[in-house]
Amino acid sequence: MAQRYVDVIQVGKQALPFAGLLPDGYRYLWAAVDTGDIIPKQPLFKKDRWNPTFRDAVVLIDATCPWLADVAKLTALPANRIIVENSVQLSDTAQHILELKGAHRMDFADADALANTIYGSFYSDQNTYKIDFSEFVVDPAYDGPVRQVGEAYREFSGDFGPDWVRIGSVNQVMWVGVNAGQDVVVENATSGDLELMGKVQTFDGINSDLNDILTATGEDLYDGVHVLQMYNPRGLQLHLYVRGRGTAQIGDIHWRRTRSGYGETLVGGEKVVDPVGMKQEVQVYFDAGDLKPPLCVYFAGYQTAEKFEGFGMMRRMGTPFMLIMDPRLEGGSFYMGSQVFEDRLTAAIQHRLDELGFTNDQLILSGISMGTFASLYYGARLNPHGIIVGKPLVHLGTIAQNNRIKRPNEFGTSLDMLLLLQGGTSHADIKALNDRFWKQFRQGHFANTTFAFAYMFDDDYDQDAFPSVQADLKNRYPTVRIWQKGFVGRHNDETAGVVNWFLGRYSHMLAQDFGREAG
């Protein structure tokens, strides 16, 4: 198999002195002009579109680059991976395009520093990991009260005195490779005058010597304990301490390879933080594509992998797109939170629409399974042109209730979500969580929205989701346009068929309503 590279591409009069500065896995490609092949049989552009061979490349633009006034080629460049030399002067049009494309300004004079930034922050993978709830172990010497709320969080309370008291540690060492910085993020909330501290011990990966001890307290813990990149592999272990009097809630713990301010999880990725409770977050990624309508938004399904899902699928469509993922709980909390949080997530989508100069009828919301809830829920706020969903779920309280009889011990996260969002698991809590969807959905104005549903006839998570949404829409909007396709089976059956139908509806809507083809 041919080696996979992160290509660093520069077109201009003079090559940068990158020889020996980029590590294995990176390849610097330079050409004076953009005609011809930059590597054998591979030009940079194919039919005025950026060659997919270089879709993950980092593109360097200096003052001699031939694209500075070429709107078509600037638009074709890969989003969020463009680096423009600080001194480059741009027209208002070019500046606007590059801003939409998420370009970064940097100094090219120090080639070593530039190379360090590229391989330290512009790697192509999504290197994130969330520890299993059982891997955070209460310290054996701790003898105070501990309350465990499902697998949503642990709560420590008491008068711990003026000195730091260790309450627990992650019982696994996280190994970090060469040149890889790390952010260790702890979801938490404190009350009273209690302080919480995260302490990361770093060990040399070769001789196991203790390298360093890094700490973060208070608000800094929400951004994480930052472990800087080094030139040797290291092991990391996290310990948590408290002092003072009050309560600390400890939620999920995330290990994320840092991008040093250039994004979260992906270059260009952003956090949308819930200011209430443990300051939990979802993450949003925007790619301006070809700058032409529509803006397509994809909400990730339930996943323990804590990554942006659907990246390749959405990028192939060529449109501007957003990916939204929910890294809370074991595999997501269905994109719900406080009123402020939901306002912020809505505003994040609306902001990108406004930046592009699009209207809300140039917006498509989409998702599969957990992502269907968000598409319908936030669709009621954004009133989009289209909503495309596969395996819809809307009655979150019922999903948790079904864990007892229909799916015993299969989806415990639904119970954690019920605890986190409603504070209990009573019938009243179940009903309140179900009602939360309908209260919002019925405020939406869908007279001009096209819906596409692929659903399971025997869905064991939420069998009434599609029939109830369809009935509500038809009651309020008798002429609403609904595409639908039912599949035999339970929720997790026939995934391939649902995905194929989902993509087919996307292609049809893009062609029929926007005059373009997906891919």
437 in the same domain as 476:
yes
CB 187 within 8 A of CB 248: no
Output the pLDDT for position 386.
Answer: 98
CATH of the domain at 18: 3.40.50
- One-letter amino acid of 506: Y
168 in the same domain as 91:
no
Closest by CA to 179, choosing from 3, 22, 58, 19, is 22
CATH of the domain at 238: 2.60.120.260
| pLDDT (tens digit per residue) in 221-246 | 888 999 887 767 889 999 999 999 99
352 found inside a domain: yes
Taking the C-alpha atoms of residue 458 and residue 46, their distance in angstroms, rounded to an integer, is 46
Residue corresponding to tokens 């002067």:
89
Q: Is 68 helix (H, G, I), strand (E, B) or coil?
A: coil
Output the pLDDT for position 397.
Answer: 96
CB 143 within 8 A of CB 151: no
317 in the same domain as 402:
yes
Report residues of the chain scoring pLDDT below 50: 1
Q: Is 97 helix (H, G, I), strand (E, B) or coil?
A: helix
Q: Is 366 helix (H, G, I), strand (E, B) or coil?
A: strand
Taking the C-alpha atoms of residue 343 and residue 361, their distance in angstroms, rounded to an integer, is 20
| The last residue of a domain, from among 88, 121, 154 | 121
Output the pLDDT for position 233.
Answer: 83
Taking the C-alpha atoms of residue 482 and residue 223, their distance in angstroms, rounded to an integer, is 43
Class of residue 89 by CB neighbours under 10 A (exposed 0-12, middle 13-18, buried 19+): exposed
379 in the same domain as 274:
yes
200 in the same domain as 109:
no
Q: Is 143 helix (H, G, I), strand (E, B) or coil?
A: coil
519 found inside a domain: no
44 in the same domain as 178:
no
Distance of CA 359 to the CA centre of its chain: 24
Taking the C-alpha atoms of residue 456 and residue 488, their distance in angstroms, rounded to an integer, is 6
492 found inside a domain: yes
203 in the same domain as 177:
yes
Q: How many CB atoms lie within 10 A of CB 304?
A: 13
**pTM to 2 decimal places:** 0.96
| 3-state SS string for 170-228 | ECCCEEECCCCCEEEEEEEEEEECCEEEEEEEEEECCCCCEEEEEEEECCHHHHCEEEC
What's the domain count of the chain?
3
265 found inside a domain: no
CB 69 within 8 A of CB 49: no
| Residue span of the structural domain in which 78 resides | 6-121
CATH of the domain at 390: 3.40.50.1820
262 found inside a domain: no
Output the pLDDT for position 1.
Answer: 47
